[in-house]
Structure 1
Amino acid sequence: MKFFAGVDGGGTTTRCVIFDQEGNISGYGKAGPANYHAAGSAVTGDSLLTALQNACATLPPGYEIEGLFLALAGVVSDKDKRIILELSQFLLQKFTINPGNIQVNHDCQAALTGATGGTSGIIVISGTGSSCYGENGQGESWMAGGWGYILDDLGSSYYLGQQALVSCVQCYDGRGPFTILLREILHKLGLQRVEELMHWLYFPTLDRAAVAGLAPLVIQAAEADDSIAQNIVKKGARELAVMVKAVAEKLNMRAAEIKISTAGGLVNEAAYYRRAFQATLGEMLPEALLINPFLPPVIGAALLGYRQAKGIISPEILAKLNCQQKLLD
């Protein structure tokens, strides 16, 4: 029996979905991070293996994965794609996969395909990292952001956490105004003194996920009317809107094409942050329409695996997958 699989790998979590030729979800698996720039090739390979193993555990004997799409954060260049393709070759020894139908690209493409069902639009991702990707009616695409935490990741959970830490040390030094973030962050980290922050941050290595984990404290402080936290949220939301505007302009998108959807834990789950993004987007791109995603990114990845093998995504497949997406909750 033939199946189609998609892997959505981010800076924190990797997910895999498998569905059959009729669009029935047959397997689902989760694992750790799969951004090989940040996590390394070994961890990324382990995450791909674990997610696929978990998803394939419920497949019947004699299965074949006819199409597999690996949508991974940090995949930007052709070199990145080659590295991931080479890394994924060991999967052929573990699973029955058609080697001619394995495709690799960044996670934004899968997120957009899921959000719009394969039509034109723009997806903005804000989780551990951030990026934005769009496709117009002529089949052209453009990506903004996604350059990693040193050069970019503006508007992400990491960005909010990093900006909060900057505000904390400036507050302590007397270089910046008071913020309740100083007290709240020290309490969350179990630290007694501000001087301990450097050791927590840099040793043994910088932990992006741990910094991103401070983002909820920024949202809570902003909701409690802390002006510093509110300014961090405002700046982060603006950076996301700037990415959207840049993609829309690069693709010369008509007003009817500027359908914006979102993915990632920060912009989708933090209502305060989402409202800030929506307000800023309305000011910068008033013709844009913010829509709810039709399907989650991991199903978008599986749809791209299906399209790789079949060449077209049928409305029947989309409808059936839409009815089943709650199975992944």
Structure 2
Amino acid sequence: MAVLGLAGMDTERDFRVFGERGAPRVAARRVYVRHDAEVALVGATLGEPGVIVIAGTGSVAGARNRRGDYARCGGWGYLLGDEGSAYWIAREALRAVLWAFDGRGPPTELTGAVLGALGLSSPEDLVPKVYAEGVGVRELARLAPLVTEAARRGDAVARRIVEEAAYHLALHVVTLVRRLGMEEPVKVALVGGVFRAGEVVTEPLRRHLEKHFKVELVEPKFPPAVGALLLSYMLSGVPLTRSLLENIERTAREKGLTP
């Protein structure tokens, strides 16, 4: 058996095409293909009911309820979605800098921080930088820590951006909890570079979530690679006993696979 957690498996067509063209090339009797958020969730919660929010360059959330039903929300890419991601935060920062330059928005310390990081002398230089030079998604996403740091120092514009990011990420969770009829308290695992900023992001996220239900923010227990292994046991009907999990944890620690 092989369990594959793949990014970009977003539609029924994606799964169908991979099943027809990719799965036959995998050296296994059975091949289970899952969205990468699902295997990440299983690793994070040891297969228990919960939600995982992944906010790195992009954003997506996945959830499993007590019946084993799985659903995902978001993950539609930087043009159509990825709200609350590092890319989204950075893009909003660039907009705020230009609004401040226009006079449409308030002054912000993000102006100096963004221009310095990109080696520019004026907000006007953002236009050729973005449109002519074609700043990549990952390059732009690397500006997100400038926003969370400015928010931590009290910059009002940066705080608004971070607050909106937390709202959008919380909306992913609320949507999934309602769709799956999940029981409280809801375990929510946070993964990705956006959450490395700490409480400046996690506290507004918690506040938005607690308007709807009791929540427990948790550190992921295992990375996605181990999640795929655990999911293979679950799909095979093998119970995740304490002794099995302890053995896996010991092996994962030895191999450097623990978070």
Pairs within 5 Å for 1:236-251: 236-251=165-180
1:158 is matched with 87
Contact 2:184-2:213 at 8 Å conserved across structures: no
Match of 1:303 among 189, 214, 230: 230
Pairs within 5 Å for 1:20-59: none
Taking the aligned partners of 2:128 and 2:239, their CA distance within structure 1 comes to 51
SS at match of 1:123: strand
Match of 1:323 among 245, 250, 258: 250
* Cα drift, residue 280 of structure 1: 2.5
SS at match of 2:148: helix
* Cα drift, residue 102 of structure 1: 2.7
* Cα drift, residue 213 of structure 1: 0.8
Contact 1:132-1:143 at 8 Å conserved across structures: yes
TM-score, with normalisation over the residues of structure 2? 0.88
1:26 is matched with none
Contact 2:63-2:177 at 8 Å conserved across structures: yes
Q: How many residues align?
A: 254
Q: What is the percent sequence identity of the aligned residues? A: 34
2:240 is matched with 314
1:280 is matched with 208
SS at match of 2:44: helix
Q: Which amino acid aligns with 2:138?
A: A
Taking the aligned partners of 1:201 and 1:312, their CA distance within structure 2 comes to 51
Taking the aligned partners of 1:204 and 1:79, their CA distance within structure 2 comes to 34
SS at match of 1:312: coil
Taking the aligned partners of 1:143 and 1:171, their CA distance within structure 2 comes to 36
Write the deviation string for residues 227-273 of structure 1: whole angstroms up to 9, x where unpaired. 000010111111111111111111112225x2221222212x21121
2:114 is matched with 185
Q: Which amino acid aligns with 2:147?
A: V
CA gap of 1:313–1:217, structure 2 versus 1, over 3 A, is: farther
Contact 1:117-1:300 at 8 Å conserved across structures: yes
Contact 1:101-1:305 at 8 Å conserved across structures: no
SS at match of 1:211: helix
Q: Which amino acid aligns with 2:209?
A: L
Taking the aligned partners of 2:229 and 2:135, their CA distance within structure 1 comes to 33
2:216 is matched with 289
* Cα drift, residue 171 of structure 1: 0.9
Q: Which amino acid aligns with 1:314?
A: L
Taking the aligned partners of 2:93 and 2:46, their CA distance within structure 1 comes to 37
Pairs within 5 Å for 1:53-132: 67-85=1-19, 88=22, 92=26, 97-98=27-28, 100-132=29-61
Q: Does 1:226 align with 2:155?
A: yes
2:191 is matched with 263
Match of 1:146 among 42, 54, 75: 75
SS at match of 2:225: helix
Structure 1: 5+ residue stretches without partners: 1-66
Write the deviation string for residues 166-212 of structure 1: whole angstroms up to 9, x where unpaired. 10111111111101111111111112232222232234545111121
Contact 1:221-1:229 at 8 Å conserved across structures: yes
Q: Which amino acid aligns with 1:225?
A: G
Contact 1:69-1:304 at 8 Å conserved across structures: yes
1:8 is matched with none
* Cα drift, residue 275 of structure 1: 2.5
CA gap of 1:286–1:90, structure 2 versus 1, over 3 A, is: closer
Taking the aligned partners of 2:4 and 2:72, their CA distance within structure 1 comes to 17
Aligned-pair RMSD on alpha carbons? 2.2
